[in-house]
Amino acid sequence: MADFWEDAERHLVRYSGAGRFVPEIIERASGSFVYTADGRQLLDFTSGQMSAILGHSHPAVVATIQRQAATLDHLFSGMLSRPVVDLARRLAESLPDPLEKVLLLTTGAESNEAAIRMAKLVTGRHEVISFARSWHGMTQAAASATYSSGRKGYGPAAPGNFAIPTPNSYRPDFTAADGSLDWRRQLDFAFELFDAQSVGALAACIIEPILSSGGVLDLPPGYLAALRDKCHERGGLLILDEAQTGLCRTGDWYAFQRDGVVPDILTLSKTLGAGLPLAAVITSAEIEQTAHDRGFLFFTTHVSDPLVAAVGNTVLDVLEGSRLAEQAAELGAYLRKGLRGLAEKHEVIGDVRGRGLLIGLELVRDRDSKQPADELGTAVTRRCLELGLHMNVVQLPAMGGVFRIAPALTSTHAELDLGLEILDRALAEVTPRFPLSR
């Protein structure tokens, strides 16, 4: 055991800003749980990296990997296989018109990179708008459109990138008479600022329908349509990044369905492979044709790989056959009710928000002032892990510790109850060490 951590410290590049790894050696995972080298069972409330929507080692996925790896795993990027074409067709069938052209890639950053590249080529423009608390990936264009962290020390971002205020109903910056978020005035202000700086070359707005790394912030009803209109008025395309919200997690197949707004380009990733590296860019035939006519190039090592495409087809099979959109809606309502019950017991819980099984729980030192409780969030996360629950807390300036709670869509009520029980105990044990503000 000691050798493992010595080797990890000596040889691994620390790839998160905090530089910390979870202090457990994970040996295996199954369903909603991961198992450590010393025999402990941890309930996984983040679905791995917010991806394993079918739980870990789902039997259907395991069977597909074994079968596909033994027959056809990887090809020259210009070759096609049946799993790739089948998955493209099925994704198109799951989406409203005119979304029907599909590019299969590996990660969310890669899919956002391709989408932004396509938008710039098709529009002949270069400016990109995203939220001030956005996260779209770590490659060039995706990182340039990411503002929640990771911007310092790397030199200038791609020219033409602009951040607009993130609508946060819990912490409103523009308020109506009743104190609620006045998102229309906020959005008008955002584009007044953009127009003052723009050279008239907007290529795209890229956003998440629910900002996850930004603190699980759901866009107010009506906001997405208004943003689309402002983007289109300026000649730009609307790109929706549904890395975490796509494929049933929010209770709908796609989060944008709630608003009835169809993006010009849609990107999928994490949930599409249910934990394996699979992503997609989906757009209209018109946009694809224009991109092709202008020489669109996104030729990567693992574009259209058959192994992960076969897994993607299996993921769709399970989502459809087990009616997991409906299950996510029902389990999400059950979990939010349980979390609101905890809020009645623990004053440090300031807000419970989200859709389906993507839920944010924000900790504060004082409910009236909403003073952030960063240290408390870190301590609760640590105590939850000790008690057998893996949680993820987002800590951004001017916000409290926000737990991103995203269990597998295959979770049971008993597993959700276990998570609530452990979180309740952790809060009860840790909070007294962090007195509330008065």
Is the pTM higher than 0.75? The answer reads yes
**Token pair for 186:** 């906020």
When pLDDT is averaged across residues 188-206 and rounded to a whole number, the result is 98
Q: Which of 317, 303, 328 is nearest to 61 (CA)?
A: 317
Please name the residue ranges forming H helices in 352-412. Answer: 374-387
When pLDDT is averaged across residues 129-141 and rounded to a whole number, the result is 96
Kindly tell me if the per-residue pLDDT of 438 is higher than 60. Answer: no
The CA distance from 244 to 355, in Å, is 12
Kindly tell me if the per-residue pLDDT of 399 is higher than 70. Answer: no
Q: Phi, psi at residue 129, to the nearest 5°?
A: -110, 135
Mind listing the pLDDT tens digit for each residue in 342-382? 999 999 999 999 999 999 999 999 999 999 998 999 999 99
DSSP 8-class letter at 432: G
Mind listing the pLDDT tens digit for each residue in 106-120? 999 999 999 999 999
Beta bridge partners of 239: 206, 265
**Token pair for 276:** 């394996």
Per DSSP bridges, beta strands 393-395 and 401-405 are antiparallel
Mind listing the pLDDT tens digit for each residue in 402-416? 999 999 999 999 999
The pLDDT score that the predictor gives to residue 114 is: 98
Taken as a whole, the chain contains a residue count of: 438
- Count Cβ atoms below 10 Å from residue 389 Cβ, excluding itself: 21
Mind listing the pLDDT tens digit for each residue in 27-58? 999 999 999 999 999 999 999 999 999 999 99
- CATH code 3.40.640.10 region(s) in the chain: 72-321
CATH 3.40.50.10470 fits 72-321, yes or no: no
When pLDDT is averaged across residues 214-230 and rounded to a whole number, the result is 97
- CATH code 3.90.1150.10 region(s) in the chain: 2-57+323-433
Percent of the chain with pLDDT over 90: 93
Mind listing the pLDDT tens digit for each residue in 248-274? 999 999 999 999 999 999 999 999 999
Beta bridge partners of 283: 101, 265
Helix axes 306-321, 324-345, angle to 10 degrees: 70
Mind listing the pLDDT tens digit for each residue in 52-101? 999 999 999 999 999 999 999 999 999 999 999 999 999 999 999 999 99
The pLDDT score that the predictor gives to residue 70 is: 98
DSSP 8-class letter at 81: -
Beta bridge partners of 372: 364
When pLDDT is averaged across residues 160-172 and rounded to a whole number, the result is 97
Helices (H) and strands (E) in the chain, counts: 13, 18
pLDDT-based confidence at 400, cuts 50/70/90? low
What mean pLDDT value characterizes the chain? Answer: 96
The pLDDT score that the predictor gives to residue 434 is: 87
DSSP 8-class letter at 271: G
The pLDDT score that the predictor gives to residue 401 is: 87
Q: What residues act catalytically?
A: 135, 208, 241, 244, 270, 404
The pLDDT score that the predictor gives to residue 94 is: 98
The CA distance from 236 to 85, in Å, is 29
CATH 3.90.1150.10 fits 2-57+323-433, yes or no: yes
The pLDDT score that the predictor gives to residue 16 is: 83
Percent of the chain with pLDDT over 70: 98
The CA distance from 152 to 141, in Å, is 16
Q: Are 267 and 112 in contact (CB under 8 A)?
A: yes
Q: Phi, psi at residue 138, to the nearest 5°?
A: -115, 5
Terminal CA-CA length for the chain:
45
The CA distance from 182 to 176, in Å, is 5
The pLDDT score that the predictor gives to residue 20 is: 81
When pLDDT is averaged across residues 164-187 and rounded to a whole number, the result is 97
**Token pair for 66:** 């074994």
The pLDDT score that the predictor gives to residue 13 is: 94
Residue type, 54: L
